[in-house]
Amino acid sequence: MPVEVWAPTAAVVQLVTPTGTAPMTRGDSGWWHGSLPGDPAGVDYGFTVDGSGPFPDPRSRRQPNGVHELSRTFDAEAHAWQDRAWTGRQLAGATIYELHIGTFTPEGTLDAAAGRLDHLVALGVDFVEVLPVNGFNGTHNWGYDGVLWYAVHEGYGGPAAYQRFVDACHTNGIGVIQDVVHNHLGPSGNYLPNFGPYLSDAEGNTWGASVNLDGQDSDEVRGYIIDSALMWLRDYHVDGLRLDAVHALKDHSAVHLLEQLAGEVAALSAAVGRPLTLIAESDLNDPRLITPREANGYGLDAQWSDDFHHAVHVALTGETVGYYADFAPLGALAKVLTRGFFHDGTLSSFRGRHHGRPIDVDRMPAWRLVVASQNHDQIGNRAIGDRLSAQLDTGQLGIAAALTLLGPFTPMLFMGEEWGARTPWQFFTSHPEPELGLATAEGRIGEFARMGWDPAVVPDPQDPATFERSKLDWTELHRPDAGRLLALYQDLAGLRRRLEDLTDPRFNRLAVAFDEADGWLLLTRGTTEIVINLSTSGRWIPVTGESVLLAFANNADAVPTLDDGRVLLPPHSVAVLG
């Protein structure tokens, strides 16, 4: 079985197996070639580079004994796929459900997650977006400390379990979006620098050294990234990728890595005959990311919009600390709904400068923005990882659901929000190195102390209890309020599929009216009206709709009243009129 590794500056590279070592032959462009004995699956191997090592394969598909040990070969073609009838999913009109494999179920495995897909089918979601699953050191973390981008974390079940999970999703009519991290590597188990110039000496980012995207030998580094992205889409039948923090990709090339990736993925999509989606996480508020390559954009399909989250969060909670400050007026939410970004060249008080660029709402479809009222970042990066359910009543949670699912954008739900989960989702790590674990804990506490939080309330990320607390409690579904909220989410998803107005991507087919003092907002989408009362008192709101298609209030017995061009909404309630 042939094996190869890129090590352009090495004088000697040897192939290591449990039975011994063998020299490798240097080929073109710094690639070294060797051969493994036996079956294409189940052979342990690694490399020594100029006498150091052995190190795992940078393109390892499996690490059964952890990221510091030998790799194991994996035959991706051995799986008998059951999704032959799967034709994929378009992002336009779809609903995404974000989950973390380790905390989605008590077992924390891919197979266990597959066993909960009936819940997602009943909820009405079209995609699951899976937080990173690539190889990292330790037993559990969020997934953003990965060091082996081709491997699936063994604790989740490894690559074979990942194939089974994707197959099960497709069998249930659900697409899979995999969260991938290309902007940095984790602090333990990163042996890439031993092989070649994978990291940049010129620029760093929030998490440490940047990846070498535009320096010497960067062509092979870019190939390493693009090949890993194509692997998920091709070998694991994944339907899309969520690209973590693309603003941290330091690339001054004429053709940015994202544009190059978009072109490669488009070619693969044509070859496999199904849609393949790229979604960027970016805090740049730059529509160039989602502008077609033919119009000098990067050609990605969509990007996250944190502005939507911030505007909804402030409208419901009243929090105006830090980056929430600029979103205090209800008009901020109205602007986000009609213009896509709030910061589109405006002054950001949090950043101390002007930020963002306007979206061309006459040409850009609204579905290219992925929005959420809760997600792993916005919950987990709070000091105690508290969800909206810790602050809001059931009626307010219903308002958040309606704004997310019935707004003009692509909605994304975070696991458990559909029943108002009360379990927190906290920042957790499991670094085996004591010094690294201590530094992580101290850094986390210091970060929140600077923001005014009491250090005593910040959970220790290394404490196993922090991880256990963050697991969903599925028994909560038996609570009456949880059942009401879940039914609302199902009804909203059903309305979204039934009414064309609710998936119309045109910004010019929607309008927003609001009253700051009275605390109400009216979102009109074609002939459908979403009416929201954020106040603690009943409110008469002018409308044109003649029938109530859906209503939800904090008080289960309260109902809206239609009367001659206006509707009386109970406190903390939402109604959909047609």
Return the active site residues: 244, 281
Taking the C-alpha atoms of residue 21 and residue 541, their distance in angstroms, rounded to an integer, is: 77
Helix (H, G, I), strand (E, B) or coil at 158: helix
307 is in an annotated binding site: yes
**Matching residue, tokens 């009414």:** 499
Identify whether the C-beta of residue 24 lies closer than 8 Å to the C-beta of residue 214: no
242 is in an annotated binding site: yes
The beta strand positions in 418-572, using DSSP E, are 510-515, 520-525, 528-533, 539-542, 548-553, 561-562, 566-569
E strand or H helix that includes residue 133: none
377 is in an annotated binding site: yes
| CA dist 468 → 99, 106, 141, 155, 427 (Å) | 16, 9, 11, 15, 11
| CA nearest neighbour of 5 among 42, 51, 59, 50 | 59
* Interacting residues of 480 by C-beta distance below 8 A, sequence separation 6+: none
Identify whether the C-beta of residue 184 lies closer than 8 Å to the C-beta of residue 211: yes
Taking the C-alpha atoms of residue 564 and residue 576, their distance in angstroms, rounded to an integer, is: 17
| CA nearest neighbour of 333 among 347, 312, 317 | 312
Dihedrals phi, psi of 134, to nearest 5 degrees: -70, 165
**Which pair of structure tokens corresponds to residue 519?**
């605390």
Strand 31-35 versus strand 20-23 pairing type: unpaired
Strand 52-55 versus strand 44-49 pairing type: antiparallel
Strand 520-525 versus strand 528-533 pairing type: antiparallel
| CA nearest neighbour of 575 among 541, 563, 564, 565 | 541
Sign of the torsion formed by the C-alpha atoms of 74, 75, 76 and 79: negative
- HEC letters along 285-317: CCHHHHCCHHHCCCCCCEEECHHHHHHHHHHHH
247 is in an annotated binding site: yes
* Interacting residues of 395 by C-beta distance below 8 A, sequence separation 6+: 552, 553, 554, 555, 570, 571, 572, 573, 574
Strand 96-99 versus strand 127-130 pairing type: parallel
245 is in an annotated binding site: yes
376 is in an annotated binding site: yes
308 is in an annotated binding site: yes
Sign of the torsion formed by the C-alpha atoms of 429, 45, 229 and 286: positive
Range 251-273 burial, b when 16+ CB lie within 10 A, else e: beeeebbbbbbbebbeeebeeee
Taking the C-alpha atoms of residue 42 and residue 434, their distance in angstroms, rounded to an integer, is: 32
Taking the C-alpha atoms of residue 206 and residue 320, their distance in angstroms, rounded to an integer, is: 24
246 is in an annotated binding site: yes
Residue ranges for the known binding site are 242-247, 306-310, 376-381
Residue ranges for the known binding site for substrate are 242-247, 306-310, 376-381
